[in-house]
Amino acid sequence: MLKLEFPKGFLWGAATSAHQVEGGNHNDWTEWEVANANRLADEASRKNIQNPSPYEGEGPANGGRVRLDSPLNPQNYISGLACDHYNRFHEDFDIAKSLNHNAHRFSIEWSRIEPEEGKWDEKEIEHYREVIKALRERGIEPFVTLWHWTNPVWFANRGGWVRNDSPLIFARFCKKIAESFPDVKYWVTLNEPEAFPRHGYLTKDRPPAKGGLLQMFKALQNLARAHKEAYATMKKVNKSFCIGYSESSVYFEPFNRMPQNILAMKFLRWWRNNPFFGRMAENSDFIGLQFYFHTRVRIGSKSQWWFQFNENKKVSDFGWEIYPEGIYHVLKELKKYNKPIYITENGLADAKDRYRAEFIRDHLKWMHKAISEGVDVRGYLHWSLLDNFEWQQGFWPRFGLVEMDYKTMERKPRQSAHTYAKIAEENSLEV
């Protein structure tokens, strides 16, 4: 048996985001959820999406009751109380500590801190002070995200990220937070800033669900500027802050060596992975990598001009291919930026916990290979600590190391959480 050791001081933990776990938020997403819940439930019923969760299913067996987290139930699409993490964070951090986590990524909800433009809610700042304190008391390093896709309603209503002054408005919020928590070391300004414009303005399956290509580019550009502004402003507050951003990088490979497939792969790699890494890496102390996807690209099939031809030997409950080797290739690609890298997300929807332990072990094995070849990876934060509200899919996908019973709010670490806890404790992996 071989023991793969990770660098000394490696950070091990999990990630969450405010809107997905806290409950009781009011932002542009909550408004969108209410407006779209019935439509999403209808669509799920037309597509016959099944709930893979091991709980009792809906239908005649349980007297026709439809569970909260059934894709067929409109309530599934409303974040509502979520995991009530806002009130139960002590309990959740106790669990994280019992699982040997020494770092935790969470986000501060902008709409709580600045419910009206330019007005700060000191009570909410106090709340996050408690959150940070609770982590520190348990020896867990906070990794604070400043924007994880949700916006205050006033910001969204006044044009959101297509507004020219949006970067400055966001940087003002970041400054307030930085001044409030000068002792936090790790900051993630933006979570996957590429995804928000793509879904919001192009595919329109998430808020603001309007606009088009032009607005998408505008928002992309403003988000990149927002990161830069936030970085500069926050560094003035404390120059030893370690500030980065998180981006999801896809491992693209050509289906075969046909020139058109290689070319298409190169274009997609550039388009999907570069707009942010390229521009934002300069103004960052580290890169946050979120790894979920692998795509084998093939041009010119019958029905579409390009196609994804993954082997899909194993897929998550979401149908996403499980391809751990991809993390190695993506890490090698990121080496060119010459920055420390933290894996700020990597995980899968797996209600029955069939693949999660193996998924973690395999990704860590490939991550270790990248480290041994000189990539400066300093931490791994699994997505997610808890099952949570998975955006437009709602509650049914189960990403947690810890299983949530949404009826009783009981939390129960899954078997895979213990596999991960052992790796974290030993700072090594036996293969």
Choose between 321 and 390: whose C-beta lies nearer to ligand BGC.
Answer: 390
Choose between 292 and 366: whose C-beta lies nearer to ligand BGC.
Answer: 292
Choose between 170 and 383: whose C-beta lies nearer to ligand BGC.
Answer: 383
Q: Closest approach of Cβ 70 to ligand BGC, in Å? A: 19
345 is catalytic: yes
Choose between 100 and 107: whose C-beta lies nearer to ligand BGC.
Answer: 107
- Amino acid 209 reads A
Task: Give me the residues that bind ligand BGC (CB under 6 A), please.
Answer: 17, 20, 191-192, 248, 290, 345, 383, 390
Q: Closest approach of Cβ 351 to ligand BGC, in Å? A: 14
Q: Which of 109, 192, 333, 345 is catalytic?
A: 345
Q: Closest approach of Cβ 367 to ligand BGC, in Å? A: 18
Q: Closest approach of Cβ 248 to ligand BGC, in Å? A: 5
Q: Closest approach of Cβ 293 to ligand BGC, in Å? A: 10
Choose between 44 and 66: whose C-beta lies nearer to ligand BGC.
Answer: 44
Q: Closest approach of Cβ 151 to ligand BGC, in Å? A: 15
Choose between 58 and 247: whose C-beta lies nearer to ligand BGC.
Answer: 247
- Would you name the residues annotated as active-site residues? 345
